[in-house]
Amino acid sequence: MVRHLLAAGVSLALAHALGTSAVGADGVIRVGSKSFTESYILAEIAAQVVERTGEARVERQLGLGGTGLTYRAVTAGAIDLYPEYTGTLAYIILKDPALRTVEAIRARLGPSGLTISDPLGFNNTYALALRAETADRLGLRRISDLARHPQIAAAFSSGFLEREDGWPGLTRHYGFSLPSVRVMEHALTYRAIASGEVDMMDVFSTDGQLERLRLRVLEDDRRFFPDYSAVLLARTDMALRYPRTWARLREALEGRLDEKRMSALNAMADLDGKSVPEIAAAFLGTAASSAPVRKGMGSEVLALTLDHLFLVVLSLAAAIVLGIPMGIAAARFRRTGQVELGAIGMLQTVPALALLVFMIPVFGIGKGPALVALSLYALLPIVRSTYAGLMSIESHLLEIAFVLGLGRTARLVRIELPLASIGIMAGIKTAAVMTVGTATLAAFIGGGGYGTLIVRGLAMDDTATILAGAAPAAAMALVFHAAFELLDRLAVPKGLKR
Amino acid sequence: MIELREITKRFGERVALDGVSIVVRPGTVQVLLGSSGSGKSTVLRVILGLVRPDAGEVLVGGTAVTEATRGAVVQGIGYVVQDGGLFPHLTALGNVALPAHVHGWPPARVRERAAELGAMVGLDAGTLALYPRELSGGQRQRVGLMRALMLDPPILLLDEPLGALDPIVRAELQTQLGSLFATLGKTVLLVTHDIREAALLGERIALMKAGRVIQQGTFADLRERPATPFVTQFLTAQTMAADSRKDR
């Protein structure tokens, strides 16, 4: 009975994994985004355009983390398109600052099977901003005007202060510097500038707060900041297979979004707490009601619960199936065992997120690599506890087993594993609770689960959404703990219980 | 028959056994007497192939004990240790039946043999259903003895079998062991530090000190014809201690 249930569960799980990670299936356009507000909004607009064109179904893979991830995903075919910036394409992806025009970038992307749309209109680059009153009072309009006002108190994010395309390059390019420059966390700086503690800060030119806080962006009169014009980066094969959709996407987005408009859309998400689908629908001029019906938060959490459960159960099962024999091997072959334990320990020092990212070149994005990474991560507590459980058995008991005529296998099955069972179960429990937590990171590589809400909430600075993902994850960890306490009663021999 | 010939064993710097030669004749009870650390337990472990001697040779039933033969050799040996050495995850019956299970005995035969042994050592079925931690020290010791006798081996090795028991239970079990040895007619090698136990159970006694056999013979031989002053000293120390306790 149990075996049948297990078999059914595994085949169901496999079907689920294959179903969601299949690449290039016909009739579907996969839209991706990075994990910050603007990228979510642009991707959602694109997704709704695809839906309304009706040539293909749309699948959203939003909030995939940074440039490395999304670019690999689009080249691997795990997604078909996502919003990108010309500066990022030139400097980070193609690593050729000489690529100044959209045409040049498009030509260079061609051999990789990729193409880009024309600019969507706005340039989301670094910029220096002051309160409008301060700027007016001092007559500041351009960056070169700053040379005449050394008393300006500036606070910059650490990235801007260190990057070559930030403050160091800028001061060299313009030939002046400011005596009073501080490092400050970005969100805090917005508050500090509003209260007048700080005069000037670095911003992205489409930040939602610019308008609301009445900040003025200084003109980059000597053209120092690279151009970060937004474009759609897409797979050429998608554009060829769905020409009508690609044409509609370009028509709907190219040249339609200036800085003001984009900044306003960002503000709707960041400051007004509107949902991304709502904002996208509003931009496309469709009433929110005619926008695709979105499931409520409740049913989304339910779906993500199944998703999360799937990730945890399958990766935990794999870790148990691999980990217990590895623990046995480590205890039996002491010398190689130390190497083995060392290697698995080292695996654990790799931050979980980095491990997930390392999976991408081999396994792509989605559930597959997430499962592999989670299994590897759950391995250590199980291997270690199996090893420790076996090593802690008093040697005279093993000698007696030998004298009683028990061979190696009989000793392992009848004596060693039952005696080590308390320890092994403790290791599995630790791994289970840990995996429930770590699995929230799977969302960064499109693996789904509760992390989807956490990533989205983090990107939009929306605590309620973060909690909608984090609280059920904590609850699930508790449920797992309780379930394993029950399982203990079955797995640990009665004679060993206190 | 067990024969140890000039067995020497070092653990690092420490000499555990230094040219030990002992012969246990079939059907006799030989006691290894000595204080703790004298090497007597190591003698048993060498016979079982659990410790490989640096020099010398052990023969059990004519077979030299080596890495290759030890698996077969232990099949003919029952081994009893202090406090029973029971597996905590198995019931008393589970412990007793374990060697029979390994040999693929049918369940009926296992039950029958266990009941027979239970009657012999005085444990009923209810007690045998308990886990080791639910048993008294004396009961654990009896279960350990049953387990060692399960396959009816010709040789019995006992390592301080009664060492962990209180004096009353100990005396009772000593008597019981004596009659068991007499009825079963096994070749027995028993390790103890207790002179009373040695005198009561041992047909022959080997007194050990610092890895060497100081004297072998009957208890009367040791008492009346001590090979060295140490023999007398060892024999009288415990009796005097017991006497002085009585005086108080």
Domain boundary among A290, A318, A336: A290
Beta carbons of A276 and A447 less than 8 angstroms apart? no
- A247 and A301 within one domain: no
Give how far B97 is from chain A: nearest CA, Å: 10
CA dist., res. A109 & res. B146, Å (int):
81
B100-134: pLDDT as tens digits: 998 899 999 999 999 999 998 889 999 999 999 99
* Higher-pLDDT residue of A383, A352: A383
Give how far B148 is from chain A: nearest CA, Å: 8
pLDDT at B241: 55
Q: Does position A287 have pLDDT exceeding 80, yes or no?
A: no
pLDDT at A20: 40
Structural domain contains residue A54? yes
**Interchain CB contact of B164 with A (< 8 Å):** no
Beta carbons of A181 and A161 less than 8 angstroms apart? yes
Contact B132 A397 (CB under 8 A): no
Ramachandran region, residue B33 (left: φ > 0; alpha: ψ -120 to 50; beta: rest): beta
- A73 and A103 within one domain: yes
Give how far B99 is from chain A: nearest CA, Å: 6
Contact B85 A494 (CB under 8 A): no
Q: Does position A386 have pLDDT exceeding 60, yes or no?
A: yes
Domain boundary among A269, A290, A311: A290
A251-268: pLDDT as tens digits: 999 999 888 889 889 888
Q: Does position A38 have pLDDT exceeding 50, yes or no?
A: yes
pLDDT band, residue A498 (cuts 50/70/90): low
**φ, ψ for residue B174 (rounded to 5)?**
-60, -45
Burial of A318 (0-12, 13-18, 19+ CB in 10 A): middle
Nearest to A397 among B75, B85, B103 (CB): B85
Can you tell me the mean pLDDT for A228-233? 92
**Interchain CB contact of B102 with A (< 8 Å):** yes
Task: Name the range with the highest mean pLDDT among A53-67, A334-348, B76-90.
Answer: B76-90
* Residue B215, helix vs strand vs coil: strand
Can you tell me the mean pLDDT for B228-237? 88
Sign of the four-CA dihedral A399, A402, A408, A412: negative
Q: Which chain B residues are Cβ-neighbours of A491 within 8 angstroms?
A: none
- A137 and A175 within one domain: yes
ipTM for the predicted complex comes to 0.90
Kindly report which listed range (A96-110, A131-145, B162-176) carries the lowest average pLDDT score.
Answer: B162-176
- A407 and A446 within one domain: yes
Structural domain contains residue A4? no
User: B208: number of CA atoms within 13 Å, CB side?
Assistant: 30
Tell me the residue type at A269.
Answer: A
Give how far A380 is from chain B: nearest CA, Å: 26
CATH of the domain at A130: 3.40.190.120
**Interchain CB contact of B99 with A (< 8 Å):** yes
B27-61: pLDDT as tens digits: 999 999 998 888 999 999 999 999 999 999 999 98
CA dist., res. A281 & res. A289, Å (int):
9
- A44 and A191 within one domain: no
pLDDT band, residue A24 (cuts 50/70/90): very low
Q: Which helix (H) or strand (E) holds A31?
A: strand A28-32
Can you tell me the mean pLDDT for A276-285? 89
The DSSP letter of residue A351 is -
Nearest to B102 among A396, A406, A418 (CB): A406
Give how far A493 is from chain B: nearest CA, Å: 6
Task: Tell me which of 3.40.50.920, 3.50.50.60, 3.30.830.10, 3.40.50.300 is the CATH number of domain B2-247.
Answer: 3.40.50.300
pLDDT at A22: 38
User: In angstroms, what CA-CA distances link A20 with A28, A186, A367?
Assistant: 12, 37, 7
Q: Which chain B residues are Cβ-neighbours of A403 within 8 angstroms?
A: 48, 50, 74, 77, 79
Give how far A421 is from chain B: nearest CA, Å: 10
**Interchain CB contact of B130 with A (< 8 Å):** no
Tell me the percentage of chain B whose pLDDT exceeds 90: 64
CA dist., res. B19 & res. B8, Å (int):
5
Q: Identify any residues that bridge with A232 across adjacent strands, giving them in sequence order.
A: A83
Q: Which residue of A has its CA nearest to B148?
A: A404
Q: Which of B70, B98, B151, B152 to mutate to test the interface with A (most CBs of A within 10 A)?
A: B98
SS3 of A452-466: HHHHHHHHCCCHHHH
Can you tell me the mean pLDDT for A357-378? 82
A311-324: pLDDT as tens digits: 999 999 999 999 99
Kindly report which listed range (A331-345, A428-442, B194-208) carries the lowest average pLDDT score.
Answer: A331-345
pLDDT at A13: 42
Contact B87 A397 (CB under 8 A): yes
Contact A396 B85 (CB under 8 A): yes
pLDDT at A70: 87
- A386 and A250 within one domain: no
Contact B98 A414 (CB under 8 A): yes
Kindly report which listed range (A26-35, A182-191, B7-16) carries the lowest average pLDDT score.
Answer: A182-191
pLDDT at A120: 92
**φ, ψ for residue A225 (rounded to 5)?**
-65, 135
- A67 and A47 within one domain: yes
3-state helix, strand, coil in chain A (%, to 5): 65, 10, 25
Tell me the percentage of chain A whose pLDDT exceeds 70: 92
pLDDT at A443: 85
Can you tell me the mean pLDDT for A131-149? 90
Sequence-distant (≥ 6) Cβ neighbours of residue A114 within 8 angstroms:
A74, A75, A233, A234, A235, A236
Considering its fold, how many domains does chain A have in total?
3
Tell me the residue type at A80.
Answer: D
Q: Which residue of B has its CA nearest to A421?
A: B89
- A105 and A141 within one domain: no
Contact A495 B88 (CB under 8 A): yes
Beta carbons of A31 and A47 less than 8 angstroms apart? yes
- A490 and A399 within one domain: yes
* Residue B24, helix vs strand vs coil: strand
Sequence-distant (≥ 6) Cβ neighbours of residue B75 within 8 angstroms:
A405, B151, B153
Ramachandran region, residue A243 (left: φ > 0; alpha: ψ -120 to 50; beta: rest): alpha
pLDDT at A303: 86
| Domain around A193 | 126-217
Beta carbons of A451 and A78 less than 8 angstroms apart? no
Please give the interface size between A and B, counted as residue pairs whose CB atoms are below 8 Å apart.
54
Domain boundaries, chain B: 2-247
Angle formed by the axes of helices A367-391 and A297-332, nearest 10°? 40
- A187 and A166 within one domain: yes
- A37 and A113 within one domain: yes
Contact A399 B50 (CB under 8 A): yes
Give how far A492 is from chain B: nearest CA, Å: 9
Q: Which chain A residues are Cβ-neighbours of B153 within 8 angstroms?
A: none
pLDDT at A429: 92
Contact A403 B77 (CB under 8 A): yes
Kindly report which listed range (A63-67, A76-80, A465-469) carries the lowest average pLDDT score.
Answer: A63-67
Structural domain contains residue A8? no
Contact A418 B74 (CB under 8 A): no
CA dist., res. A210 & res. A189, Å (int):
12
Contact B88 A419 (CB under 8 A): yes
pLDDT at A12: 39
- A245 and A327 within one domain: no
Give how far B96 is from chain A: nearest CA, Å: 10
Beta strands in chain B (DSSP E): 2-11, 14-24, 29-33, 55-60, 63-64, 77-81, 155-159, 187-192, 204-209, 212-217
Contact B74 A415 (CB under 8 A): no
Structural domain contains residue A11? no
Contact A400 B85 (CB under 8 A): yes
Q: Which residue of A has its CA nearest to B48?
A: A403
Structural domain contains residue A16? no
**Interchain CB contact of B230 with A (< 8 Å):** no
Contact B74 A405 (CB under 8 A): yes
Burial of A494 (0-12, 13-18, 19+ CB in 10 A): exposed
Contact A495 B85 (CB under 8 A): no
Tell me the residue type at A180.
Answer: S
Burial of A239 (0-12, 13-18, 19+ CB in 10 A): buried
CA dist., res. A120 & res. A113, Å (int):
21
Instruction: Please provide the distance, in angstroms rounded to a whole number, between the alpha carbons at the two ends of chain A.
Output: 31
Give how far A63 is from chain B: nearest CA, Å: 51
Q: Nearest-5° angle of CA A111, CA A75, CA A204?
A: 100
**φ, ψ for residue B170 (rounded to 5)?**
-60, -50
Q: Which chain A residues are Cβ-neighbours of B88 within 8 angstroms?
A: 419, 495-496
Contact A403 B79 (CB under 8 A): yes
Picking from B202, B243, B244, B192, the residue whose alpha carbon sits closest to that of residue B223 is B202
Pair of tokens at residue A330? 């480590």
pLDDT band, residue A118 (cuts 50/70/90): very high
Q: Does position A68 have pLDDT exceeding 60, yes or no?
A: yes
Contact B74 A494 (CB under 8 A): no
Give how far A386 is from chain B: nearest CA, Å: 17
Beta carbons of B46 and B10 less than 8 angstroms apart? no
Q: Which chain B residues are Cβ-neighbours of A410 within 8 angstroms?
A: 102
CA dist., res. A126 & res. A226, Å (int):
8
CATH of the domain at A59: 3.40.190.10
Nearest to B74 among A396, A403, A493 (CB): A403
CA dist., res. A198 & res. A188, Å (int):
11
Tell me, rounded to whole angstroms, the distance of Cα A69 from its chain centroid. 8
- How confident is the prediction for chain B on average, in pLDDT? 90
pLDDT band, residue A7 (cuts 50/70/90): very low
**pTM of the model as a whole:** 0.70
- How confident is the prediction for chain A on average, in pLDDT? 84
Domain boundary among A275, A290, A305: A290
pLDDT at A8: 42
